[in-house]
Amino acid sequence: MIYSEKVMDHFQNPRNVGTIKDADGIGKVGNPVCGDVMAFYIKVKDNRLADVKFQTFGCGAAIAVSSMVSEMAMGNTIEEALKITNKSVAKELGGLPKNKLHCSNLGADALHKAIEDYKERKKSAKEDITKKSGESDKFNCPYCEGPLEGLEDFCKKCQIELEKCPECGKPIKKDEEKCPHCGATKVRA
Protein backbone atom coordinates (compact mmCIF):
# COMPACT_ATOMS: atom_id res chain seq x y z
CA MET A 1 0.00 0.00 0.00
CA ILE A 2 1.58 3.27 -1.14
CA TYR A 3 0.80 6.50 0.71
CA SER A 4 1.69 10.01 -0.44
CA GLU A 5 4.38 12.00 1.38
CA LYS A 6 1.65 14.22 2.85
CA VAL A 7 -0.23 11.25 4.29
CA MET A 8 2.97 9.94 5.85
CA ASP A 9 3.85 13.37 7.24
CA HIS A 10 0.40 13.81 8.86
CA PHE A 11 0.53 10.25 10.20
CA GLN A 12 4.00 10.60 11.69
CA ASN A 13 3.54 14.23 12.83
CA PRO A 14 -0.18 14.69 13.42
CA ARG A 15 -1.31 18.26 14.05
CA ASN A 16 -3.88 19.38 16.63
CA VAL A 17 -4.08 16.11 18.57
CA GLY A 18 -5.97 16.28 21.87
CA THR A 19 -9.19 17.53 23.36
CA ILE A 20 -10.66 20.90 24.22
CA LYS A 21 -11.90 20.85 27.79
CA ASP A 22 -14.63 23.46 27.30
CA ALA A 23 -15.36 22.66 23.65
CA ASP A 24 -18.22 24.47 21.94
CA GLY A 25 -18.94 21.37 19.87
CA ILE A 26 -17.96 17.69 19.88
CA GLY A 27 -18.43 15.22 17.04
CA LYS A 28 -17.70 11.50 17.26
CA VAL A 29 -17.94 8.92 14.50
CA GLY A 30 -16.80 5.38 14.02
CA ASN A 31 -16.69 2.66 11.41
CA PRO A 32 -17.43 -0.74 12.95
CA VAL A 33 -16.06 -2.56 9.88
CA CYS A 34 -12.51 -1.18 10.11
CA GLY A 35 -12.56 -0.13 13.77
CA ASP A 36 -11.59 3.52 13.15
CA VAL A 37 -13.05 5.98 15.66
CA MET A 38 -12.63 9.76 15.49
CA ALA A 39 -13.66 12.57 17.81
CA PHE A 40 -13.38 16.25 16.91
CA TYR A 41 -13.54 19.13 19.38
CA ILE A 42 -14.09 22.71 18.25
CA LYS A 43 -13.91 26.14 19.83
CA VAL A 44 -15.78 28.88 17.97
CA LYS A 45 -15.13 32.61 18.17
CA ASP A 46 -16.88 35.16 15.94
CA ASN A 47 -18.30 32.35 13.77
CA ARG A 48 -14.78 30.99 13.09
CA LEU A 49 -13.15 27.78 14.27
CA ALA A 50 -10.62 29.29 16.66
CA ASP A 51 -9.39 25.86 17.77
CA VAL A 52 -9.83 22.34 16.42
CA LYS A 53 -8.54 19.21 18.16
CA PHE A 54 -9.04 15.54 17.48
CA GLN A 55 -8.53 12.10 18.95
CA THR A 56 -8.37 9.15 16.61
CA PHE A 57 -8.16 5.44 17.22
CA GLY A 58 -7.36 3.76 13.95
CA CYS A 59 -4.95 3.17 11.13
CA GLY A 60 -2.32 5.56 9.80
CA ALA A 61 -4.69 6.85 7.13
CA ALA A 62 -7.33 7.67 9.77
CA ILE A 63 -4.77 9.63 11.81
CA ALA A 64 -3.53 11.48 8.72
CA VAL A 65 -7.08 12.32 7.67
CA SER A 66 -7.94 13.65 11.14
CA SER A 67 -4.80 15.78 11.17
CA MET A 68 -5.52 17.16 7.69
CA VAL A 69 -9.18 17.89 8.49
CA SER A 70 -8.14 19.80 11.60
CA GLU A 71 -5.71 21.92 9.56
CA MET A 72 -8.22 22.51 6.78
CA ALA A 73 -10.88 23.62 9.29
CA MET A 74 -8.76 25.79 11.60
CA GLY A 75 -9.56 29.49 11.23
CA ASN A 76 -12.39 28.95 8.77
CA THR A 77 -15.94 30.14 9.26
CA ILE A 78 -18.56 27.56 10.20
CA GLU A 79 -19.92 27.71 6.65
CA GLU A 80 -16.48 27.18 5.09
CA ALA A 81 -15.71 24.26 7.43
CA LEU A 82 -18.98 22.58 6.47
CA LYS A 83 -17.77 22.55 2.84
CA ILE A 84 -14.88 20.24 3.75
CA THR A 85 -15.73 16.90 2.15
CA ASN A 86 -14.21 13.46 1.99
CA LYS A 87 -13.05 14.23 -1.57
CA SER A 88 -11.41 17.53 -0.61
CA VAL A 89 -9.59 15.85 2.29
CA ALA A 90 -8.32 13.00 0.12
CA LYS A 91 -7.26 15.48 -2.56
CA GLU A 92 -5.42 17.68 -0.03
CA LEU A 93 -3.55 14.59 1.20
CA GLY A 94 -2.44 13.75 -2.34
CA GLY A 95 -4.86 10.84 -2.59
CA LEU A 96 -5.61 7.77 -0.53
CA PRO A 97 -5.68 4.11 -1.54
CA LYS A 98 -9.18 3.06 -2.54
CA ASN A 99 -9.58 0.82 0.51
CA LYS A 100 -8.74 3.79 2.80
CA LEU A 101 -11.12 6.39 1.31
CA HIS A 102 -13.65 5.62 4.04
CA CYS A 103 -11.24 7.29 6.49
CA SER A 104 -11.69 10.63 4.73
CA ASN A 105 -15.45 10.20 5.15
CA LEU A 106 -14.99 9.74 8.88
CA GLY A 107 -12.85 12.86 9.25
CA ALA A 108 -15.26 15.16 7.44
CA ASP A 109 -18.24 13.53 9.17
CA ALA A 110 -16.73 13.97 12.65
CA LEU A 111 -15.99 17.64 11.96
CA HIS A 112 -19.52 18.20 10.64
CA LYS A 113 -20.98 16.50 13.73
CA ALA A 114 -18.94 18.81 15.98
CA ILE A 115 -20.33 21.81 14.08
CA GLU A 116 -23.89 20.41 14.33
CA ASP A 117 -23.35 19.93 18.07
CA TYR A 118 -22.12 23.54 18.36
CA LYS A 119 -25.17 24.85 16.47
CA GLU A 120 -27.52 22.77 18.61
CA ARG A 121 -25.91 23.99 21.83
CA LYS A 122 -26.05 27.59 20.60
CA LYS A 123 -29.71 27.20 19.63
CA SER A 124 -30.58 25.65 23.02
CA ALA A 125 -28.73 28.40 24.89
CA LYS A 126 -30.51 31.08 22.84
CA GLU A 127 -33.90 29.46 23.51
CA ASP A 128 -33.12 29.34 27.24
CA ILE A 129 -32.14 33.02 27.29
CA THR A 130 -35.21 33.99 25.27
CA LYS A 131 -37.43 31.90 27.52
CA LYS A 132 -35.96 33.39 30.71
CA SER A 133 -35.96 36.99 29.50
CA GLY A 134 -39.32 36.99 27.75
CA GLU A 135 -41.29 34.43 29.72
CA SER A 136 -43.62 36.92 31.43
CA ASP A 137 -44.52 38.48 28.04
CA LYS A 138 -46.29 35.26 27.08
CA PHE A 139 -48.75 35.12 29.99
CA ASN A 140 -52.34 36.11 30.28
CA CYS A 141 -53.96 37.10 33.52
CA PRO A 142 -54.96 33.83 35.20
CA TYR A 143 -58.26 35.39 36.33
CA CYS A 144 -59.61 37.22 33.27
CA GLU A 145 -57.31 35.87 30.50
CA GLY A 146 -56.39 39.46 29.56
CA PRO A 147 -52.90 39.87 28.08
CA LEU A 148 -50.08 40.80 30.42
CA GLU A 149 -47.16 42.61 28.88
CA GLY A 150 -43.72 42.95 30.39
CA LEU A 151 -43.25 42.60 34.12
CA GLU A 152 -46.60 44.08 35.11
CA ASP A 153 -47.81 43.70 38.67
CA PHE A 154 -51.32 44.86 37.84
CA CYS A 155 -53.88 43.48 35.37
CA LYS A 156 -55.44 46.43 33.57
CA LYS A 157 -58.45 44.42 32.41
CA CYS A 158 -59.67 43.00 35.73
CA GLN A 159 -57.92 45.51 38.03
CA ILE A 160 -56.12 42.88 40.16
CA GLU A 161 -52.73 43.33 41.80
CA LEU A 162 -50.36 40.57 40.73
CA GLU A 163 -47.05 39.08 41.89
CA LYS A 164 -44.83 36.26 40.63
CA CYS A 165 -45.31 32.73 41.92
CA PRO A 166 -42.09 31.78 43.75
CA GLU A 167 -42.20 28.29 42.15
CA CYS A 168 -43.00 28.81 38.47
CA GLY A 169 -42.55 32.58 38.11
CA LYS A 170 -45.93 33.09 36.46
CA PRO A 171 -48.29 35.88 37.59
CA ILE A 172 -50.70 35.21 40.45
CA LYS A 173 -53.09 37.41 42.44
CA LYS A 174 -51.24 39.18 45.23
CA ASP A 175 -51.68 37.26 48.50
CA GLU A 176 -53.10 34.22 46.64
CA GLU A 177 -52.53 31.02 48.66
CA LYS A 178 -52.27 28.63 45.70
CA CYS A 179 -50.80 29.25 42.23
CA PRO A 180 -53.42 28.63 39.49
CA HIS A 181 -50.60 27.63 37.08
CA CYS A 182 -48.46 25.13 38.98
CA GLY A 183 -50.55 24.52 42.12
CA ALA A 184 -47.74 25.52 44.47
CA THR A 185 -48.90 26.60 47.90
CA LYS A 186 -47.45 29.87 49.05
CA VAL A 187 -45.65 29.69 52.37
CA ARG A 188 -46.37 32.71 54.56
CA ALA A 189 -43.80 34.00 57.03
Q: Is 103 a catalytic residue?
A: yes
Question: Are 113 and 39 contacting, i.e. CB atoms less than 8 angstroms apart?
Answer: no
Give the integer Cα–Cα distance in Å for 19 and 40: 8
Q: Provide DSSP, 62-112.
A: HHHHHHHHHHHHTT-BHHHHHT--HHHHHHHTT---GGGHHHHHHHHHHHH
Q: Is 59 a catalytic residue?
A: no
Q: Which of 34, 59, 158, 168 is catalytic?
A: 34
Per-residue buried b or exposed e for 113-135, using 16+ beta carbons within 10 Å of the residue's own CB? bbbebbeeeeeeeeeeeeeeeee
What values do phi and psi take at 128, rounded to 5? -65, -45
**Minimal CA–CA distance to 17: which of 55, 44, 58?**
55
184, 166 contact by CB (below 8 A): yes
- The one catalytic residue among 103, 141, 155, 165: 103
Active-site residue list: 34, 103
